[in-house]
Amino acid sequence: MNYDLLIVGAGPGGIFSAYEALKLNPELKIALFESGNALEKRKCPIDGVKIKSCINCATCGIMNGFGGAGAFSDGKYNITNQFGGTLYEYIGRKNAIDLMNYVDEINTANGGENTKLYSTANTHLKKICMQNDLHLLEASVRHLGTDINYIVLENLYNQLKDKIDIYFNTHIDAVEKLDNGYRLLSKEQAFTGEKCIISTGRSGSKWMGKICDSLGLKTKSNRVDIGVRVELPYAIFSNLTDELYESKIVYRTQKFQDKVRTFCMNPRGVVVSENTNGIVTVNGHSYDDPSLYTENTNFALLVSNHFTEPFKDSNDYGESIARLSNMLGGGVIVQRFGDLIRGQRSTESRITESFVTPTLTATPGDLSLVIPKRQLDDIIEMIYALDKVAPGTANDDTLLYGVEVKFYNLEVDIDEHLETKHKGLFVIGDCSGVTHSLSHASASGVYVARYLYGK
C-alpha cells in the first residue's frame, strides 16, 4: 500500500490537490482518504416531516464525505484576499488571487459555465454602507448554488475515481513519520507514502489537534465566531443581493467596539442545521435553479471572539454555547426579533402568526438564555445598523436562529510552502487555520501540488 502522495480529507483542498497533481504528473500513485461517504451516498435524513431535527448520524451527511462541508453549501467561491483566510500571507497576494481564479476556471469548465460571477467593484452600495458606518468588503463572487456545486463535484470525482485510489468511510487514526515518508493507520490497515497532505477541514479540528500533538507540531489558538442566522423576506435585502449576491458587511459596535459581520448570504435560500462533532448548529444554503427558490433570504451575523492567556481553547467556548442551545431547544432555537427585543420567548403560535415563514423546523425559544449578553447586544446593534441600508431588517417578524458557530482550527506552524517542520508533510485548507473558505482551501491544494510536482 505504498503511494507517491497520501491525501487525508476529500474536501476542496484534498480534491484540488489530487486534481492538480494528476494534471502535472499523470503517473503519480495517489491515495485519497475520507471519513465520510461518496458524494451520491451523502444524505441527511431530515425531511421536515418524519424527521424534523438532527438525529446524530454516525457520519454527518452534511459535514463529511466527498466535497467536504462545502458540498451542500450554496457553492459560493469568493475571489478576494479581504476575507476567507490569510493564505496571501504565506504565498503572496497576487499568487493567491491567481490561484483562486484558476479554481474558478476549473469549476466553470466542469458544470458551472452558466453561473454568474458577481463583483463589488464600482458599486454605489459601498458608499451607502460607509455613510451608515458599515463597511462593504471587496470581492468577486462565483455563485454555483447547492445544485450546480453538486454537479461540479460529481464531474471532478468522475475525473479522479479511475486515476487514484479513493478510500471512503476510512477514518485515519494516526499519522506517523518514517525515514522515507509517512504512514497512515486506520483500524487494521496501514498506508505508506513519500508525501502527505492533510486537508481535513473544520470538521476535523479536534482530530488535527491530536495529530499535531503526536507529531510535535506547534499550534496557536485561533478565534471562534458566535452569532445567529437571520431570515427575512427576500425583498428586504434585494437591493444588495440582486447586484452583489454575497455582501460581506462589517460593523464596529458602539457599545463594545466589537466587530460584527454578515456571512454566507443566501438570497431565496433555506436555513439548515448541521452537526459538527456532535454539536447541532445552523447554516444556510441556496440554489441556482429558480424552481428551488424560496420567498426568504438568510444570512449569518457573527461576532468574532479572540482570547488571550491563559485561555487557549476558543473552540470549546463556542461548543459550550452551542451545547446550551441544544440542551434548551433539542437542537436549533428560533426567535422573532420583536420577541427578543421585548424580552419574551417566541412560541409556536407567535412563529405561526409571523409574516415570515421559517424554512427550517426549529424550536421556538429565547436566545437571550443561550448567547452571552455581549455578543447578543452586538448582534442587536448590528441589526439596527443594517436596517439603515436595508429597511425592514429590524422588523418584529425577522427570524433569528441560534446558534451559528464558526469554528476555526488551531493555526498550525507551516512555512511559505504550507509545509510543516517535517519535510513532505503539508497542512492545507481550513484544518490549517490559514483558510476559511471554499476558494482559499481549493487554492491551497493547487499551490502545494504545483510546489511538489510543477516544473
Got the DSSP string for 218-267? -EE---EEEEEEEEEEHHHHHHHHHHHSS--EEEE-TTT--EEEEEEEEE
Tell me the pTM.
Answer: 0.86
Q: What is the pLDDT of residue 312?
A: 72
Among 40-44, 45-49, 397-401, the minimum mean pLDDT is found in 45-49
| pLDDT higher than threshold 70 for residue 99 | yes
The answer, yes or no, to whether residue 266 has pLDDT greater than 90, is yes
Q: Which parts of 34-109 are beta strand (E)?
A: 76-79
Hey, what CATH class is 2-117+141-220+411-453 in? alpha beta
pLDDT digits (tens, 9 = 90+) for 376-398: 999 999 999 999 999 999 999 99
Q: How far apart are CA 406 and CA 300, in angstroms?
A: 10
What the block records as the C-alpha cell of 212 is: 499535531
What is the pLDDT averaged over residues 356-376? 96
pLDDT value at residue 222: 64
The pLDDT score that the predictor gives to residue 1 is 67
> Distance (Å, rounded) from C-alpha 62 to C-alpha 301?
21
Name residue 85's beta-bridge partners.
435
End-to-end CA distance of the chain, in Å?
27
70 pLDDT tier (thresholds 50, 70, 90): confident
How do residues 2-43 score in pLDDT, each as one tens digit?
A: 999 999 999 999 999 999 999 999 999 999 999 999 999 998
3-state secondary structure of 11: coil
Region 255-272 average pLDDT: 94
Where does the chain hold its CATH 3.50.50.60 domain(s)?
2-117+141-220+411-453
The three cell numbers locating residue 279: 454539536
pLDDT at 287: 86
pLDDT (average), residues 402-420: 91
